Amino acid sequence: MSDEVIIRELVGPDQTMTIFPLYSQVSRLSEAVVYQRLSAMFAQSNYRCIAAYIDERMVGASGFWTGTQLWCGKYIEADNVVVDSALRSQGIGGKMMAWIEAEAERIECAVIRIAMVLGRERTHQFYARIGYFDDGLLLVKALSRGAADFPEYASQQG
């Protein structure tokens, strides 16, 4: 087995669904829900996905969005960066982020954003090591449709 990591872009929801076995290491979502959401994300025309391979084995994946906001102009936001749990801390995540950063430069983005769940110190340390820093706080409130899936975000107001 080669140790060379190859990054490939996945096109469309059908090809991107090949990430499901890897993604299921970190998510409880069913295959049907993942497909439905990927289809909706691709329909917005600003979502893309890459996968990292060693030989032909998928060992990492990350989606990313492009957008424009007043404060920064054009940006990329990495979404659901996942590395096979047996291969973490071997540079795969860094290679995927380097690919995304190069793509952001190529399409003339000003910044790359990462939204990260609190309490994931190892993940936070990874991003700090590759040059990212805290610059805000993402506030979340679950609406009635999301209350069951995100009880930690449900309003405590009575």
Q: Residue 77: enclosing H or E segment and its boundaries?
A: strand 73-83
What pLDDT was estimated at residue 155?
A: 61
Q: What is the dihedral of CA 19, 20, 23, 28, to 10 degrees?
A: 170
**Is the CB of residue 32 less than 8 Å from the CB of residue 13?**
no
Domain boundaries, the chain: 5-115
Q: Which of 124, 44, 108, 42 lies closest to 75, judged by CA?
A: 108
**Is the CB of residue 42 less than 8 Å from the CB of residue 48?**
no
* DSSP assignment letter at 27: -
Q: pLDDT digit string (tens) for 54-78?
A: 999 999 999 999 999 999 899 999 9
Burial tier of 70 (Cβ tally within 10 Å: 0-12, 13-18, 19+): exposed
CA distance 76 to 96: 13
Give the residue ranges of the chain where pLDDT is below 70.
1-2, 137, 153-158
CATH assignment, 5-115: 3.40.630.30
What pLDDT was estimated at residue 11?
A: 95
Sign of the CA dihedral with 75 first, then 54, 34, and 29 last = negative
**Is the CB of residue 96 less than 8 Å from the CB of residue 54?**
no
